[in-house]
Amino acid sequence: MTEKSDICLLGLILLSSLFTGVSGAQDVFISSGESVSLSCNDALHQCSSTTWIYSKYITSSTVEVFTGVVKKNNTERSERLSLTSDCSLNIYNTTQHDCGLYTCRRYVNGSHHEPYSLVFLHVLHVSSSSSSSSSSQTEIRSNTPVTLSCQLFTYYCGYVFSVDGFQLVWMNQTDVDLQTDSRYQIRSDELCLISLTTTLVNEDDNTELRCVLKHKNDIKTSVTYTVRFTASTTTSIIIRVILVIVEVSVFAAPTVILLQIICAGRAQNRRRTQNAHPEDTVMSAVKE
């Protein structure tokens, strides 16, 4: 089967699944960094005759990721792929780039054996504007604006959100919708993207902000972003403490020395008085 015919076939399969439903079609929702197993529904247990093909978006061409063995056309990705004994496709440490439509096909003696097994993989991912890297625990500076972008990477965003009724929501660690908190500016200019902008203060260190994908009242998946302030922020706090200690030491040291001088002077005066008038010392002792 040629690449063009594969694209046409997948397009027809997708349209059928949207309007009439396809037997065996699955929707899998995960957050980036998780591992997932995509079921092939293979009753033959003959993975050597199994082919997994992949298409990232509805307009993308197809790529074979497994035909008897894992394809090495993408080294970084192929290292995260494996097959189970029932021909399910394992993807470890998923990224937003793993989203798309996965199709499992089985052949016996060169002929197609069963209906296609379709798996739509949707990956929820959060990134921070304050860091070049995307992470769920990015270190940032306090008292500076930060924007967190939460995006559902999916095969066909328009259908998922416009037709099927999905929703992205930002929540805090107590599951309160941050849309109601004036500290946070929530924007959703695109169907599959919701952003959160705020200025984090020192008290926000270790705070958890959660992006949630909802379908009606059900939570499909979520990503938790933990605020971690940079080491420079912690260092500055330590430096301030040290400066306070130094200042106290600088002002306290002369005071201690002055008190020692005063006490020593008074003790010396008492000794002189006792030496000059020994009879007074004797009388004092008798009286006591």
Give me the residue spans of the domains in the chain: 3-122, 123-231, 238-268
Helix axes 231-276, 278-287, angle to 10 degrees: 100
Phi-psi region of 21 (alpha: psi -120 to 50; beta: other; left: phi over 0): left
Residue 178 tokens, joined = 């941050």
Percent of the chain exceeding pLDDT 70 equals 59
What is the structure's pLDDT at 1?
42
Selected from 2.60.40.10, 3.90.1150.10, 3.30.465.10, 2.120.10.30, the CATH number assigned to the domain covering 123-231 reads 2.60.40.10
What is the structure's pLDDT at 284?
52
- DSSP 3-state of 145: strand
What is the structure's pLDDT at 187?
94
Residue 209 pairs with which residues in a beta bridge?
A: 172, 225
Report residue 285's pLDDT band, with 50, 70 and 90 as the boundaries. very low
Residues in the chain: 288
Same fold, 3-122 and 123-231: yes
What is the structure's pLDDT at 282?
44
Highest-confidence range of 200-209, 233-242, 267-276, by mean pLDDT?
200-209
pLDDT at 111 over 90: no
pTM score > 0.85 for this model? no
- As its CATH architecture, domain 3-122 has Sandwich (2.60)
Going from the C-alpha of 104 to that of each of 24, 34, 89, the distances in angstroms are 10, 21, 9
Buried-exposed string 153-183: b where 16+ CB fall within 10 A, e elsewhere: bbbbbebbbeeeebebbbbeeeeeebeeeee
Percent of the chain exceeding pLDDT 90 equals 28
More confident residue, 254 or 142: 142
Q: What is the pLDDT of residues 89-98, one digit of tens each?
A: 999 999 999 9
Report residue 148's pLDDT band, with 50, 70 and 90 as the boundaries. very high
Closest to 149 in 3D by CA, of 168, 121, 174, 165: 168
Side chain identity, residue 21: G
Are 63 and 77 contacting, i.e. CB atoms less than 8 angstroms apart? no
More confident residue, 130 or 51: 51
Are 76 and 93 contacting, i.e. CB atoms less than 8 angstroms apart? no
Report residue 241's pLDDT band, with 50, 70 and 90 as the boundaries. very low
**How far is residue 186's CA from residue 195's CA, in Å, rounded to a whole number?**
6
